[in-house]
Chain A
Amino acid sequence: MTLEVLIRAAAPIPLDIAFGVAPGEILALVGHSGSGKTTVLRTIAGLWRPETARVTAGGAVWLDTAAGVALPAWRRRAGMVFQTYALFPHMTALQNLMAAMDRPDRAEALRLLGLVNLDGLAGRRPAELSGGQQQRVALARALARRPAVLLLDEPFSAVDRATRERLHAEILALRGRLDMPVILVTHDMNEAQLLADRMLVIEKGAALRLGTTAEVMADPVALRAMGIREAAAMLSAVVAGFDDDGLARLETAAGPIFLAGVDTPPGSRLRIRIPAHEVILARARPAGLSAQNILPCRVAALHPGEGPGVLVRLRLGSEEILSRITRRAAADLALAPGDEVHAVLKAMSVARDQIAAAGA
């Protein structure tokens, strides 16, 4: 059930976008507010009809302006999670789910509520649930529709940070069971990088860059649109243990690293987002530093930006991280692809919300 989308429009904002999403894949649509990313989602759901568009899910044509086909939203199998939750306030959590089912199935609705960790809250109305709980109900309701496509419209932007981290972890835990294409609209690059397989950067209604999260996050053009400070790499790690001072010892492809802010038990697999501007480079292995992590690595490529910065891609074993340094520093070190360098990373440089459990 692959989703194929093509949209061209002049109003309300100019749009020129085409992409496909495979079953089980999470595609993040990222861009600033007003870039058109939500309009793309609404077009797929059938809540908006651009001048020229074609949307197919599996073999089914949902929208084809050229052929005059336009299924109304309620005839499309699109599960949608709204930014404002949009739960029916007069129904309980359970009733909200059953309202989205073609044949209301109480047992199935309860199972879905369990899947999003809402056991025991089926009888509560939305007003009696916290923001995070409401968002879980909204997700379960979207799944109750048995959607051919799951659409998430900035689903975590209205909850506090701690709740957002928990919801991220739950989405990642659910990943294996989501066998439909998933589209996540977000302006949070950290969220996109943690959750998505691929990213589509949209700027002023145009597709700026479509690729895997690693590709997009190392692409100067995409980063210019999103803000260069968003440049970051994802590093896989396994929690090896905790030292007496509370720092976590993690095994990575680059050897052991130490980080603060890790609270998952030893043995858990993590994906850590390492911001490029937090990584310092040194030719020789530095001594007498406060930084706890000195990782030997090799320069893979240098991407000079338009400003004073250079984005350096570094290979550590089978993985890559990014470092953003000045052109001047790159010249002083005479960096060139293939050079052996040391990447320096403070244990404090990774925030708690930049660490996510890796899918099994």
Chain B
Amino acid sequence: MDWTALFLSLRLAFWTVVILLPVAILGGRLLAFRQFRAKGLVEAAVMLPLVLPPTVFGFYMLVALGRNSPIGAFWQQAFGHQLVFTFEGLLVASVIFNLPFAIQPAQRGFEAIPTALREAAATCGMSPLRSLRKVELPLAWPGLLTAMVLTFAHTLGEFGIVLMVGGSIPGETRTIAIAIYDRVQALDMQGAAVMSATLVAISLGTIAVTFALSARLGRRLA
């Protein structure tokens, strides 16, 4: 059992969720409530990671974050090492390929709020920020929760992009999914089986607990 890989996966999933939560709130809200000309294009771009092969996505991430890219060069100068094949580089890729999992459910959550309720918040004298805090977030939370759970679970399970952008550096970029692949390559079926079962248990547990929790809270609100 590769505990380092498991811990790395959990760490990556945690930070991805932390970064994507505000992005999901702002982006989901924007797409739910605002009408603008490029909205269709933005929605399509957000969905792109769902349909692209991980290799294609990973390739572009390598190009965008590599040493010869503006981002990569800046990173090299600022921190003295390159961005790709590091945990930070993996986190950047993880945040981007999880955008559809975070923004889509959040958008649906905000869209479920009747327009009249947001108007009522305004006529009750609530500023947009106060309305977000007191009315929109409490009502959109099932969508936001789904967004965060999906992001967390999906980060644990992602393989192709991690391999392309991070490689398989123990303690740095070797996530549990990569570790399982390595075990299988080394014909260690026993080790692969243990880690696979662990990953299934963690993913299933996360989703089950969240759904149970949301059902209970949902009943209280209904």
Contact of B119 among A82, A90, A142 (CB under 8 A): A82
Measured between beta carbons, the chain A residues less than 8 angstroms from B127 are 74
The answer to whether the Cβ of A100 comes within 8 Å of any Cβ in the partner chain is yes
Given contacts A84-B114, A84-B116, A88-B135, contact A127 B123 (CB under 8 A): no
Cα–Cα, bound, A177→B161 (Å): 67
Q: How large is the interface on A (under 10, 10 to 19, 20 to 34, 35 or more residues)?
A: 20 to 34
Given contacts A90-B138, A99-B134, A127-B222, contact A45 B123 (CB under 8 A): yes
The answer to whether the Cβ of B92 comes within 8 Å of any Cβ in the partner chain is no
Cα–Cα, bound, A149→B110 (Å): 30
Within 8 A of B (CB), among A124-151: 125, 127, 141-142, 145, 151
**Residue total for B at the interface (Cβ-Cβ under 8 A):** 20
Within 8 A of A (CB), among B55-99: none
B117 and A88 contacting across the interface, CB-CB below 8 Å: yes
Measured between beta carbons, the chain B residues less than 8 angstroms from A74 are 121-128, 131
Contact of A72 among B114, B122, B124, B134 (CB under 8 A): B122
A99 and B123 contacting across the interface, CB-CB below 8 Å: no
B119 and A89 contacting across the interface, CB-CB below 8 Å: no
The answer to whether the Cβ of B213 comes within 8 Å of any Cβ in the partner chain is no
Select from chain A the residue with minimum beta-carbon distance to B123: A80
Cα–Cα, bound, A213→B114 (Å): 35
A90 and B139 contacting across the interface, CB-CB below 8 Å: yes
Within 8 A of B (CB), among A38-89: 45-47, 72-80, 82, 84, 86-89
Cα–Cα, bound, A125→B220 (Å): 10
Least CB distance from A296 to B in Å reads: 51
The answer to whether the Cβ of A102 comes within 8 Å of any Cβ in the partner chain is yes
The answer to whether the Cβ of B120 comes within 8 Å of any Cβ in the partner chain is yes
As a 0/1 sequence over residues 131 to 144 of chain B, the CB contacts with chain A under 8 angstroms (1 = contact) are: 10011001100000
Measured between beta carbons, the chain A residues less than 8 angstroms from B134 are 88, 99
Select from chain B the residue with minimum beta-carbon distance to A73: B122
The answer to whether the Cβ of B38 comes within 8 Å of any Cβ in the partner chain is no
Least CB distance from B29 to A in Å reads: 17
Measured between beta carbons, the chain B residues less than 8 angstroms from A102 are 125
Least CB distance from B187 to A in Å reads: 55
Select from chain B the residue with minimum beta-carbon distance to A45: B123
Cα–Cα, bound, A102→B125 (Å): 8
B116 and A82 contacting across the interface, CB-CB below 8 Å: yes
A141 and B119 contacting across the interface, CB-CB below 8 Å: no
Measured between beta carbons, the chain B residues less than 8 angstroms from A89 are 117, 139, 221
Least CB distance from B112 to A in Å reads: 11
Measured between beta carbons, the chain B residues less than 8 angstroms from A45 are 119, 123
As a 0/1 sequence over residues 18 to 46 of chain A, the CB contacts with chain B under 8 angstroms (1 = contact) are: 00000000000000000000000000011
Cα–Cα, bound, A82→B128 (Å): 19
Select from chain B the residue with minimum beta-carbon distance to A95: B134
Cα–Cα, bound, A46→B123 (Å): 8
Cα–Cα, bound, A79→B221 (Å): 26
Least CB distance from B125 to A in Å reads: 5
Given contacts A84-B114, A86-B114, contact A78 B123 (CB under 8 A): yes
Measured between beta carbons, the chain B residues less than 8 angstroms from A73 are 119, 122-123
Select from chain B the residue with minimum beta-carbon distance to A84: B116
B124 and A141 contacting across the interface, CB-CB below 8 Å: yes
Cα–Cα, bound, A87→B123 (Å): 12
Cα–Cα, bound, A72→B114 (Å): 19
Select from chain A the residue with minimum beta-carbon distance to B116: A86
Measured between beta carbons, the chain B residues less than 8 angstroms from A78 are 123
Least CB distance from B67 to A in Å reads: 48
Q: Would you list 13 pairs from A and B whose C-beta atoms are within 8 A, ordered by A residue? A: A45-B119, A46-B122, A73-B122, A74-B121, A74-B128, A74-B131, A80-B119, A80-B123, A86-B116, A86-B120, A87-B120, A88-B117, A100-B125
Q: Report, nearest first, the 4 A-B pairs whose CB atoms are least far apart.
A: A73-B122, A100-B124, A86-B120, A86-B116
Binding site for A on B (CB under 8 A): 114, 116-117, 119-128, 131, 134-135, 138-139, 221-222
